[in-house]
């Protein structure tokens, strides 16, 4: 069918077909399209030019806004409230952002989840253009659409990303040519007269848990355009699916032609991100567009060879593809032709702003003429021609973008994705799978926004920490601790590396059971409540993280997913024969299983590559293998030793004990753990205390620099484990051994004692903070200069107190001894002797004014002796443990730790005397300090030099330095006083009126004003106030603070803060600027100079905030101690929620409350992602830490167990914990 163009102007203008050979201009040649004859001086926008013409062909009284209003009611999925405004959710429970491209910028992403048996792509989007700013496979190094940081993506997405160009001709004689979602027709929300926007399209952004959709309703052209994106689930190829739907809103038939797709499509050619950004023009020399057949429907974008400048040349076989077609539920459609030659669309407009070539020709003409895809970056536009829509009808173009390992695969993929109904079914499956992932927090209150936020937080928490997946024995009731055939694999995790956190290199492996590595701190925090939702994993997380504790008391930076191995070759052959269907496959698989460590996704990849024929279904295949395999934790040193990595162990243990209080003794004493072996070593003070110039260059001072070094001898030790066949290091290379070559192992309680001893030996000279002597700070890593200032932190002191209290409790409860390395015993003896000497000196506790002077000689000498003992210990175990051990009698440990705790408590008291100092802070706030530093006032040069040749010194005297208030201080302090309600309330009241409170936003600053501080602190002071870590609202630390409020039973204060806008989803959506269900890392505070962005969130999702939020949820719905032991040591289960009345009935809400048959208000949730729980609350009152009066537990066989009282008995509690025999629980208050 022909496309049409306007001939002439005015109401009597005629239309004739484009490309008609008989249509001539005045000189007898072919008549140019009217838009090609316009003066480019007025051709300022593709849409703007056409819009002026469209209006000439509508009847008198035509009202674009009326058309928009009607479409919003009839064809859009938005929900319109009684007052005419849009609800925050549409009819599919997606979050709605209105006029998204006219508001402040933000970024987000699709989860990158394709199911356990699927291969994901990653995709990031922005609220500009058509949303998706970049996507690809595995990492930013292999993009299909180039990765750019947020500031550039906001500018480039509408030009270089997905674009749509539409020509429409109506049978009433009018026509239009538009680019939906073009910035040229964005609404202006800053105008005083909003009616100016009535003739501009209405645009809406829909954010789903596993999808994203944009919508434009154009009243001028009477065209609605919807574009939806999702990750294709559960296929053996990775792809992003885009669905573009055109709906005719007019009253007459509409004939369309369109180009829809990517303005720039990058080829595959290995790791090309660096090349794209640094030698992009040269890189284009390798680029080409190939074709799977002789049509234009299967283009294949790749480099000819890899670009490395070496003697070995590798021909590139893999490439990217784009397959497009018109969706049909009944007939398998053919593929649409693809316009890949960018110049055929945009002509000489290298900005890609205007489709100048398209403006002077039809889509059919472009397709009829040659295209060229060599030595340039190409496009990928699906070409649609000659489609007529009746009023109200629509048509959807589905496009599948992905990577294939060979061009021959494209034909197969094309035949697969065009099966009738396939795209729609896969979309529903994508939604269903993510909903299944979040089933653990499927709740129903009267606040659907809160319910949706809980679901989103759970999802994002899992994306950062991984979703625990039970493999091996999947059908039983046994746990990881009870059954060696139960395996735990964390799927779908990754480090953040999004458009706003462009500094991180994320990795999402495109395999089955996809996952990627993560930072230690992130993983440790976000897995805190794994066992709360997945009890079958037992103590898996605790065993893994405690095994990462090194002999020196530090941990690696990067946590990788566990691997599996077969120590018994015969068992590997047996399993291989069981899961394959021919002898050759069995032999090959057996060799794979015996060949080294593997992950689930790798096994499937090898099966494909080695043509191993599985004899069972995929799930049975992998579960049979893993049931018999042995698991091993994996990590990588990375860089530096952060001081807070160990802070999160007690949180993990507390979460475990709230489900398995009866598993504590076995966990602590009967599960031997290894010691991680990193390639970095912490230097002694004599090699890292460096005499250097001050920052102004006017004097010299001593700093702690280059605290760790890459230890070549450790590398040599690891080389002994390199596999000569594969070139890979064996698993044992990462674990410390004895001199005899055996792995050295200790019980969990012994490792915790080792850790506590080392951290106790790292207390600073005043005995207040734990030193940052490993070269990195704690949680607040923007204080990167603090280690150089010989800094220390109170957060670690509070965590040390909790750690030692726990060790003391365990040894005294079970009255069992601890076996420790002999080297540690020597260090501990020296510490205790030094403590005896200090106490014998009879030093009086210092007064406030004493801290202005050097540390007293007796305390300095104690610090020096203890630090030297620590350094000697580390030297002894740098490469090996001797293998000798010493048994510490439990009562001696109890007494020893008691003495240490007394010293820690004295240090905490001193920290309040030293206090803080800063802008408007005279040190009298009574709020716990967070950081200290030490000026070395006397020193002696030694023979050592720094790596740049500066002299090293031995410290002889030092003086403490103070810092302003930081929120982390009171947060961590509240953890040790949570059982003291008066002290909790006092600290809360003090913080609320301090410099930590942002009174404009009613939130809490990460720090008080840093005005007057020096740049020595680190990058924190380098940022503008209110931005990043400089006095912003850092949501993770704020959420840590709120969590301590509810843990400390300050229920009224907690819920006031929540409903007051401190916690999502109760912030102002117009101020926050993005989905109220998605956390940001920080909110620009009122300290920021530009008031227009104060209150907006930045750095989206994958934040530790989600871990804190899920902890809040746990306390709100379950209580702090779900399972416990009674006085006779028997298991019991007690639900003690902390739920406000407004979750049962909210007069300000839009959802009616639910009632049981007796008229009691009810709220529902799922326990362990499987057991529905209903709370029955007569009158809908606050339930603040109140247990039920009665339970009714319905069993799977239909029987009902009724229990009067606050707790379930041991038998019923055990059944609930095993899940399968329990159908539901009703709790009556």
Q: Summarize pLDDT for 478-497 with one digit per residue, the tens.
A: 999 999 999 999 999 999 89
Which pLDDT score is estimated for 195? 84
- Kindly report, residue by residue over 1021-1045, the tens digit of the pLDDT: 999 999 999 999 999 999 999 999 9
| DSSP state letter for 772 | -
At residue 269's C-alpha, the angle toward residues 264 and 270, to 5°, is 120
Q: pLDDT tens digit string along 993-1025?
A: 999 999 999 999 999 999 999 999 999 999 999
Could you report the per-residue pLDDT of 931-976, keeping only the tens digit for each?
999 999 999 999 999 999 999 999 999 999 999 999 999 999 999 9
Nearest Cα to 813, choosing from 895, 890, 901? 890
- pLDDT exceeds cutoff 90 at 29: no
Q: What is the pLDDT of residue 196?
A: 87
- Helix/strand/coil for 715: helix
pLDDT at 2: 30
pLDDT at residue 262 is higher than 70: yes
> What is the tens place of the pLDDT at every residue in 403-437?
999 999 999 999 999 999 999 999 999 999 999 99
Give 3-state DSSP helix, strand, coil % of the chain, rounded to 5.
35, 25, 40
Q: What is the pLDDT of residue 910?
A: 98
Residue with tokens 């009684």: 82
- Three-state SS annotation for 635-654: EECCCCECCCHHHHHHHHHH
User: Rounded to 10 degrees, what is the CA torsion of 977, 644, 489, 142?
Assistant: 140
pLDDT in tens, 1191-1211: 999 999 999 999 999 999 999
**pLDDT value of position 729:** 84
For the cut 80, the answer to whether the pLDDT of residue 173 exceeds it is yes
Q: How confident is the model at residue 697 (pLDDT cuts 50, 70, 90)?
A: confident
Whether the per-residue pLDDT at 48 is higher than 80: the answer is no
CA distances from 205 to 162, 220, 222, 385, 692 (A): 15, 20, 19, 28, 55
Label residue 14 exposed, middle or buried (CB < 10 Å: 0-12, 13-18, 19+).
Answer: exposed
Instruction: Report the distance separating Cα 230 and Cα 100, nearest Å.
Output: 19
Give 30's pLDDT tier (boundaries 50, 70, 90). Answer: very low
Contact 556, 520 (CB under 8 A): yes
Its sign, for the CA torsion 895, 898, 903, 906, is negative
Cβ proximity of 1085 and 1018 under 8 Å: no
Going by pLDDT thresholds of 50, 70 and 90, the confidence category of residue 62 is: low
DSSP string, 881-922: E-S-EEEEPHHHHHHHHHHHHHHHHHHHHHHHHH---BTTB-
- Is residue 211 within 8 Å of 231, Cβ to Cβ? no
Across the range 642-656, mean pLDDT stands at 97
CA torsion through residues 857, 860, 865, 866, sign: positive
pLDDT for residue 54 is more than 50: no
**CA dihedral sign, ordered 67, 69, 70, 73:** positive
Q: What is the pLDDT of residue 668?
A: 98
Q: Is 418 helix (H, G, I), strand (E, B) or coil?
A: coil
Residue 296 pLDDT level (bands cut at 50, 70, 90): very high
User: What is the residue whose two structure tokens read 């670690």?
Assistant: 796
Does residue 598 have a pLDDT over 50?
yes
Query: pLDDT exceeding 70 applies to what percent of the chain?
Result: 95
- pLDDT greater than 80 at residue 11: no
pLDDT of 693 > 90? The answer is yes
User: What is the chain's mean pLDDT, rounded?
Assistant: 93
Element (H, E) at 988: helix 981-992
Q: What pLDDT shows up at residue 695?
A: 81
The pLDDT tens digits of the residues spanning 309-328 come to 888 888 999 999 999 999 99
- Residue 1155 backbone class (left: φ over 0; alpha: ψ -120 to 50; beta: rest): beta
574 and 568 Cβ atoms separated by less than 8 Å: no
Q: What is the mean pLDDT of residues 789-803?
A: 98
Between 1141 and 191, name the one with better pLDDT: 1141
CB 927 within 8 A of CB 996: yes
Angle between helices 618-628 and 569-579 (to 10 degrees): 170
Q: Output the pLDDT for position 37.
A: 32
Span 591-607, average pLDDT: 96
Structure confidence at residue 727 (pLDDT):
76
The per-residue pLDDT for 1124 is: 98
Least confident window among 3-7, 310-314, 318-322, 849-853: 3-7
Task: Taking residues 39-50, report their average pLDDT.
Answer: 38
- Residue 831: cis peptide before it, omega within 30 degrees of 0: no
Q: For the chain, what is the total number of helices (H) and then of strands (E)?
A: 35, 53
Give pairs for 740-746: CB < 8 Å, separation 24+.
Answer: 740/883, 742/883, 743/674, 744/674, 744/675, 744/821, 744/881, 744/883, 745/672, 745/673, 745/674, 745/675, 746/672, 746/673, 746/675, 746/819, 746/820, 746/821
Q: What is the pLDDT of residue 43?
A: 39
Per-residue three-class SS string for 470-521: EEECCCCCCCCCCCCCEEEEEECCCCCCCCCCCCCCCCECCCCCCCCCEEHH
- Token digits of residue 652: 């993990």
**pLDDT tens-digit profile of 435-464?**
999 988 999 999 999 999 999 999 999 999
CB 1180 within 8 A of CB 1213: no
């Amino acid at each position: 069918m022909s496309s049409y163009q306007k001939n002439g102007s005015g109401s009597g203008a005629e239309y004739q077909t484009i490309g008609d050979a008989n249509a001539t201009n005045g000189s007898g040649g072919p008549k140019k399209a009217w838009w090609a004859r316009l003066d480019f001086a007025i051709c300022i926008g593709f849409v703007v030019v056409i819009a002026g013409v469209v209006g000439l062909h509508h009847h008198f009284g035509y009202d674009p806004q009326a058309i928009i209003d009607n479409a919003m009611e009839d064809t859009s999925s938005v929900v319109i409230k009684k007052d005419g405004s849009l609800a925050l959710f549409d009819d599919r429970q997606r979050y709605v952002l209105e006029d998204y491209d006219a508001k402040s910028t933000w970024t987000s992403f699709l989860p990158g989840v394709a199911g356990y048996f699927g291969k994901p792509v990653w995709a990031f989007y922005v609220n500009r253009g058509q949303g998706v700013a970049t996507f690809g496979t595995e990492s930013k190094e292999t993009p299909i659409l180039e990765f750019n940081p947020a500031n550039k993506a906001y500018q480039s997405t509408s030009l270089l990303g997905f674009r749509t160009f539409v020509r429409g001709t109506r049978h009433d004689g009018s026509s239009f040519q538009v680019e939906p979602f073009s910035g040229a027709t964005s609404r202006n929300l800053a105008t005083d007269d909003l009616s100016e926007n009535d003739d501009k399209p209405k645009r809406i952004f829909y954010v789903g848990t596993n999808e994203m959709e944009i919508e434009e309703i154009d009243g001028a052209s009477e065209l609605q355009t919807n574009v939806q994106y999702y990750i294709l689930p559960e296929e053996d190829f990775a792809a992003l699916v885009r669905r573009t739907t055109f709906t005719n809103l007019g009253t007459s038939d509409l004939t369309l032609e369109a180009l829809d797709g990517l303005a720039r499509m990058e080829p595959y050619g290995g790791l090309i991100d660096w090349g794209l950004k640094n030698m992009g023009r040269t890189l284009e020399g390798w680029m080409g567009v190939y074709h799977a057949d002789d049509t234009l429907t299967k283009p294949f974008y790749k480099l000819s060879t890899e670009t490395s400048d070496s003697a070995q040349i590798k021909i590139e076989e893999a490439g990217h593809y784009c397959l497009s077609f018109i969706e049909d539920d009944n007939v398998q459609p053919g593929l649409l032709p693809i316009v890949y030659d960018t110049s055929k669309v945009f002509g000489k407009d290298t900005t890609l702003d205007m489709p100048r070539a398209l403006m002077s020709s039809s889509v059919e003409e472009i397709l009829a003429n040659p295209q060229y895809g060599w030595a340039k970056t190409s496009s990928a536009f699906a070409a649609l021609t000659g489609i007529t829509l009746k009023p109200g009808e629509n048509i959807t173009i589905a496009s599948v973008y992905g990577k294939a390992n060979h061009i021959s695969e494209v034909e197969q993929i094309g035949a697969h994705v065009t099966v009738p109904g396939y795209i729609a079914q896969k979309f529903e499956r994508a939604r269903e799978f993510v909903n299944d992932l979040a089933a653990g927090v499927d709740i129903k209150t009267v606040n659907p926004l809160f319910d949706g936020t809980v679901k989103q937080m759970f999802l994002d928490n899992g994306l950062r920490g991984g979703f625990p997946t039970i493999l091996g024995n999947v059908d039983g009731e046994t746990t990881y601790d009870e059954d060696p055939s139960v395996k735990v694999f964390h799927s779908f995790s990754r480090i953040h590396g999004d458009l706003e956190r462009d500094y991180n290199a994320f990795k999402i492996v495109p395999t089955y059971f996809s996952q990627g590595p993560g930072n230690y701190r992130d993983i440790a925090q976000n897995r805190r409540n794994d066992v709360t939702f997945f009890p079958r994993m037992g103590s898996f997380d605790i065993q893994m993280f405690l095994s990462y504790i090194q002999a020196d008391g530090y941990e690696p930076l990067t946590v990788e997913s566990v691997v599996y191995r077969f120590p018994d070759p015969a068992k590997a052959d047996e399993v291989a024969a069981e899961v394959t269907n021919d002898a050759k496959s069995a032999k090959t698989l057996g060799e794979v299983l015996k060949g080294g460590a593997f992950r689930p996704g790798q096994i499937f990849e090898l099966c494909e590559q080695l043509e191993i024929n599985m004899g069972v279904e995929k799930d049975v295949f992998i579960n049979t293998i893993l049931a018999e395999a042995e698991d091993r934790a994996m990590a990588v040193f990375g860089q530096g030793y952060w001081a807070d990595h160990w802070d999160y162990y007690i949180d993990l243990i507390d979460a475990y004990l709230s489900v398995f209080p009866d598993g504590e003794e076995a966990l602590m004493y009967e599960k031997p753990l290894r010691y991680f072996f990193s390639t970095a070593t912490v230097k002694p003070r004599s090699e890292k205390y460096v005499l250097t110039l001050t920052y102004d260059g006017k004097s010299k001072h001593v700093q702690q620099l280059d605290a760790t070094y890459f230890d070549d001898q450790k590398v040599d030790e690891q080389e002994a484990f390199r596999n000569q066949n594969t070139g890979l290091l064996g698993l044992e290379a990462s674990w410390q051994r004895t001199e005899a070559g055996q792995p050295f192992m200790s019980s969990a309680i012994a490792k915790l004692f080792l850790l506590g001893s080392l951290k106790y030996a790292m207390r600073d000279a005043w005995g207040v903070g734990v030193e940052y002597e490993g070269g990195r700070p704690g949680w607040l890593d923007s204080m990167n200069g603090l280690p150089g200032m010989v800094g220390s932190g109170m957060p670690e002191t509070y965590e040390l107190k909790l750690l030692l209290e726990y060790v003391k409790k365990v040894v005294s409860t079970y009255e069992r001894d601890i076996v420790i390395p002999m080297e540690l015993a020597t260090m501990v003896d020296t510490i205790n002797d030094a403590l005896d000497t200090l106490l014998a000196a009879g030093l009086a506790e210092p007064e406030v004014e004493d801290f202005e002077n050097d540390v007293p000689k007796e305390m300095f000498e104690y610090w020096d002796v203890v630090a030297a003992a620590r350094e000697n210990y580390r030297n002894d175990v740098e490469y090996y443990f001797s293998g000798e051990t010493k048994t510490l009698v439990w009562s001696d440990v109890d007494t020893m730790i008691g003495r240490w705790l007394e010293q820690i408590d004295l240090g905490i008291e001193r920290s309040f005397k030293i206090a803080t100092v800063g802008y408007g802070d005279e040190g009298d706030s009574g709020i716990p300090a967070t950081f200290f530093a030490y000026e070395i006032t006397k020193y002696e040069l030694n023979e050592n030099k720094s790596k740049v040749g500066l002299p090293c010194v031995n410290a002889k005297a030092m003086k403490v330095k103070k810092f302003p208030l930081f929120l982390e201080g009171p947060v961590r302090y509240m953890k040790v006083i949570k059982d003291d309600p008066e002290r909790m309330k006092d600290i809360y009241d003090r913080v609320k009126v301090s410099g930590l409170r942002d009174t404009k936003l009613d939130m809490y600053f990460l720090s008080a004003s840093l005005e007057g501080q020096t740049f020595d602190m680190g990058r924190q002071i380098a940022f503008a106030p209110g931005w990043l870590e400089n006095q912003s609202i850092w949501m993770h630390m704020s959420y840590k603070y709120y969590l301590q409020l509810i843990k400390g039973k300050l229920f009224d204060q907690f819920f006031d803060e929540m409903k007051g806008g401190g916690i999502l989803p109760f912030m102002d959506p117009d101020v926050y600027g993005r989905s109220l269900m998605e956390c940001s890392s920080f909110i620009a505070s009122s300290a920021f100079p530009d008031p227009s962005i104060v209150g907006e969130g930045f750095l989206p999702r994958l934040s530790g905030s989600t871990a804190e939020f899920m902890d809040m949820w746990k306390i709100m719905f379950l209580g702090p101690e779900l399972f416990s032991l009674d006085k006779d040591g028997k298991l019991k289960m007690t639900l003690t929620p902390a739920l406000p009345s407004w979750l049962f009935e909210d007069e300000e809400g839009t959802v009616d409350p639910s009632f049981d048959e007796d008229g009691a208000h009810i709220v529902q949730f799922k326990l362990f992602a499987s057991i529905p729980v209903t709370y029955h609350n007569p009158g809908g009152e606050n339930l603040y830490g109140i247990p039920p009066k009665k339970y009714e537990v319905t069993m799977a066989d239909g029987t009902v167990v009724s229990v009067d009282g606050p707790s379930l008995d041991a038998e019923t509690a055990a059944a609930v914990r095993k899940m399968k025999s329990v159908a539901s629980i009703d709790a009556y208050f």
